[in-house]
Amino acid sequence: MSAYFDYNATTPLNPAAREAWLKASEKHWYNPSSLYREAGMTSQVLESARERLADLLGAEPERVIFTSGATESNNTLFAGLSRCLPPDGCVAISTIEHPCVREAARAWLGRGRVIEIPVDTQGVVQPATLKQILEVNKPALVSIMAANNESGVLQPWQEHLQLCRSQGVRFHTDAAQWIGKLESTALGSCDYVTGSAHKFGGSKGVGFLIAADADEAFPLLHGGPQEQNRRAGTENYPGIEAMVAALESVTPMLTEVAVNQAAMRDRFIHEMQVRFAGLRVIGERAPRLWNTVLMVMPQHDNLKWLTRLTRLGFAISTGSACSTGKEGSSVVVQALGASWEELRRVVRVSGGLQTTEQEWQDLAAAFVEAGQTLDAGGRPGI
């Protein structure tokens, strides 16, 4: 493959994470809940990983619950809420949440208790919109993602948090796409935060939920008393150690990367707009992640673009990896009121920390080449 442009779906393992995983697996493979000395040492290094992660996120270590990833973290949150929400209580989530927020909220609480907060034409939840929902619907919890997985649009979550605070409402942010791409030390001020290791160079199947209180109950998994009775099951210490190592290794470079990569991405967008009249970039006027471009191509089905680009050696996506193949591949473009016909032309590219100018420019050239083949009729199904 010439270049990978699907970093929002998943990332390759960071070398520091790989090293940390190997060391942890060789040296600390014991069960941290067992009682002999070696297990006690595993428990100690696990707690140290918790402290380091809490530090990176500006949270208290007792609030960190290790999970198998963002999907589990979000289900954990709503499973917990399902126990304490009064029968007439509700939660408010944005219309552009990842399915593991939207579907988890509906499944655990019932569809009728999940209110949707609309986004503006750029895909942003305007604070004024949230304020109105807080006043009218009085939700017990608001959940708005920090950065969108499809469009990369950033939400003003600090403002959302302040508004919720002023009304005594708890605030959750799914920060799976923010963490590892942007400075994250302020996230711990939210009541609940979701993160996932494989989005920032850790291994798959590891993540966390930052909880509001250290002693909250989360009855998602029934079993042992691990994670202070909040998440049953033996902790994946090597995976956790690798996740923390990955975040420690990328955090110092994020400010510089954000500036350089955003410039490369913008030059790619410019080139695409020059080459493809009518191409629309979703959320173009909103603050966005430095790595993501969600485009509605002027012509041709997204699967045709994807297949052509794959043949040219580029991995791209048709929106979110989680909704690929399902009707309406882009939740975001749907939320913006696009037609079915437009939805079929949505393509997402997402670069990484080390994507080069050459790769961005080669990608634009590959789109041009693919477009010429498709315009010429291409071979069907290829």
Catalytic machinery residues: 322
Whole-angstrom Cα distance, residue 212 to residue 77? Answer: 10
42 near ligand PLP (CB under 6 A): no
Distance CA(348)–CA(356), nearest Å, equals: 18
CB of 177 to ligand PLP, least distance (A): 5
Stretch that binds ligand PLP, among 64-72, 157-165, 252-260, 306-314 (CB under 6 A): 64-72
The stretch near ligand PLP (CB under 6 A) out of 68-76, 120-128, 310-318, 346-354 is 68-76
The string of DSSP letters for 322-360 reads GGTTSSSS-HHHHHTT--HHHHTTEEEEE--TT--HHHH
47/66 Cα distance (integer angstroms): 11
Contact indicator for 57, 187 with CB cutoff of 8 Å:
yes
Single out the residue of 155, 173, 177, 329 in contact with ligand PLP (rule: CB under 6 A): 177
Residues facing 6 on adjacent strands: 350
Distance between CA atoms of residues 250 and 246, nearest Å: 6
Our finding on whether 239 is near ligand PLP (CB under 6 A) is: no
Q: Which is nearer to ligand PLP, 42 or 173 (CB)?
A: 173
322 near ligand PLP (CB under 6 A):
yes
Look at residue 179 and give its three-state secondary structure.
strand
Which position among 20, 81, 100, 364 is part of the footprint of ligand PLP (CB under 6 A)? 100
**Site stretch for ligand PLP (CB under 6 A), options 69-77, 212-220, 266-274, 300-308:** 69-77
Smallest distance from ligand PLP to CB 155, Å = 11
Strand pairing category for 141-143 and 170-174: parallel
Which of the stretches 171-179, 293-301, 306-314, 335-343 binds ligand PLP when contact is defined by CB under 6 A?
A: 171-179
Q: Is 223 exposed, middle or buried (0-12, 13-18, 19+ CB in 10 A)?
A: exposed
What character string, x for contact with ligand PLP (CB under 6 A) and - otherwise, covers 135-154?
A: ----------x---x-----
Minimum separation from the CB atom of position 184 to ligand PLP (A): 14
- Binding map of ligand PLP across residues 252-291, x = CB under 6 A, - = no contact: ----------------------------------------
Sheet holding 280-281, edge to edge: 280-281, 292-296, 346-350
196 interacts with ligand PLP by CB under 6 A? yes
Euclidean distance between CA atoms 324 and 370, whole angstroms = 21
Structure token digits, residue 334: 């749907």
Nearest-CA neighbor of 229 among 214, 240, 243, 207? 214
Distance of closest approach, residue 10 Cβ to ligand PLP, in angstroms: 8
Binding region for ligand PLP (CB under 6 A): 69-71, 98, 100, 145, 149, 174, 176-177, 196, 207, 321-322
